[in-house]
């Protein structure tokens, strides 16, 4: 991926300048040292080696080891170029696995390189790590954005129950509900602060956890039987020169398809109900949220003239 396309910064330019200067000085130093090195090998080192079988054997073994090392470096460089090419095609710019210091450092470096965004789109289980806790460090983008589009798993639906069963933790249901309520409260605060906040719920078991911040999408796979926080996180960037290439467009279109699906109701901030609409956007039913009973309530039909 061409990082200059997405991370324009003065420090990044200086880093390139100093790296090119260092390579140039190294090449000049090697060029000037070649005559001295050749003279030493021909007139000092080789006469000693030629008359000593032990020293000759050590020299041959050392030379063979150097050749093997150089060959491995060439193979590593070739594999590195191959991986770089694949990452460029997929537009992969960052991967976070685990919570070690290197992952945190590289993640902060990526966040510092990304400029602000006008809108943020989120498709999550509860949204707690994104909006409430400090787990993802995306609060700067959320606070600076104008519009928020959020899709959360309905913690009272069948998908949440199947998700809890796959984890083998029945107490996850109560955790889902508590975290979702905390997220709703946070979104209500953002809406009261003047942001355009739209919240929808989906019923099925979660598959992808997506956060779209402008030209970047943060992706985690919701694997059955595994906590989401333990799954690797991938960041894909939009390639402005080739927008049809890379996985950014694929994941963003997946979010838009789910967002525009009329099966997913919208949360009404005033009535605290889930509003169902048809393909034309007309309201066809609503249910209270949270439901008055543990079982899922049936939508109340609204007569449309």
| CA atoms of 49 and 45, how far apart (whole Å) | 6
Torsion of CA 74, 77, 82, 86, to 10 degrees: 170
Residue 127, phi-psi category: left (phi > 0), alpha (psi -120 to 50), beta (remainder): left
pTM assigned to the model: 0.71
Nearest to 161 by CA among 296, 254, 275, 288: 296
Reported as half-sphere exposure (CB side, CA atoms, 13 A), residue 25 has a value of: 6
Q: Are strands 273-277 and 283-288 parallel, antiparallel or unpaired?
A: antiparallel
Tokens at 145, concatenated? 């954005």
Phi and psi at residue 265, to the nearest 5°: -75, 155
Per-residue pLDDT tens, the chain, 305 aa: give them.
Answer: 444 445 445 565 666 677 767 767 766 676 666 677 777 666 677 777 777 777 778 877 887 888 888 888 888 888 888 887 888 888 888 888 766 655 666 666 667 767 667 899 999 999 998 899 876 677 778 888 899 999 999 999 988 888 888 887 766 788 999 999 999 999 999 999 999 999 999 999 888 999 998 889 999 998 887 888 788 889 999 888 887 888 999 999 999 999 999 999 999 999 999 999 888 888 888 999 988 765 444 454 443 33
Element (H, E) at 139: helix 139-144
pLDDT value of position 101: 57
| CA atoms of 120 and 102, how far apart (whole Å) | 26
pLDDT value of position 8: 47
Length of the chain: 305
| 217 neighbors 210 (Cβ within 8 angstroms) | yes
Cα R_g (the chain), whole angstroms: 29
| CA atoms of 121 and 57, how far apart (whole Å) | 66
Torsion of CA 279, 285, 291, 295, to 10 degrees: -80
**Distance set, CA 258 to CA 58, 174, 252, 261, 276 (Å):** 67, 25, 10, 5, 14
| CA atoms of 47 and 169, how far apart (whole Å) | 76
pLDDT value of position 171: 67
pLDDT value of position 185: 95
| 218 contact partners, CB below 8 Å, separation of at least 6 | 136, 138, 210, 211, 212, 233, 234, 235
| 198 neighbors 149 (Cβ within 8 angstroms) | yes
Q: For residue 44, what is the DSSP state?
A: I
pLDDT value of position 4: 45
Dmax (CA) for the chain in angstroms is 107
């Amino acid at each position: 991926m061409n990082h200059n396309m997405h991370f324009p910064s003065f420090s990044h330019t200086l880093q390139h300048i100093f790296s090119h200067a260092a390579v140039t000085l190294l090449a000049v130093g090697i060029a000037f040292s070649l005559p001295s090195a050749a003279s030493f090998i021909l007139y000092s080192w080789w006469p000693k080696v030629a008359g000593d079988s032990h020293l000759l054997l050590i020299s041959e073994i050392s030379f063979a080891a150097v050749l093997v090392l150089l060959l491995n470096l060439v193979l590593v460089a070739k594999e590195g170029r191959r991986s770089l090419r694949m990452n460029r095609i997929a537009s992969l710019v960052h991967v976070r696995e685990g919570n070690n210091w290197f992952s945190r450092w590289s993640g902060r470096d990526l966040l510092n390189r990304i400029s602000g965004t006008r809108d943020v789109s989120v498709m999550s289980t509860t949204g707690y790590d994104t909006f409430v806790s400090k787990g993802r460090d995306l609060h700067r983008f959320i606070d600076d954005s104008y519009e928020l589009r959020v899709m959360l798993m309905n913690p009272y639906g069948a998908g949440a129950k199947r998700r809890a069963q796959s984890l083998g933790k029945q107490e996850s249901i109560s955790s889902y509900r508590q975290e979702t309520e905390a997220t709703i409260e946070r979104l209500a605060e953002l809406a009261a602060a003047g942001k355009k906040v739209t919240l929808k719920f989906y019923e099925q078991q979660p598959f992808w956890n997506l956060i779209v911040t402008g030209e970047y999408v943060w992706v985690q796979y919701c694997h059955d039987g595994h906590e989401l926080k333990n799954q690797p996180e991938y960041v894909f960037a939009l390639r402005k020169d080739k927008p049809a290439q890379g996985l950014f467009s694929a994941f963003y279109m997946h979010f838009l398809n789910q967002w525009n699906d009329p099966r997913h109701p919208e949360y009404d901030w005033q009535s605290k109900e889930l509003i169902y609409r048809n393909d034309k956007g007309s309201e066809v039913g609503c249910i209270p949220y949270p439901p008055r009973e543990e079982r899922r309530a049936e939508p109340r039909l609204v007569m449309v003239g």
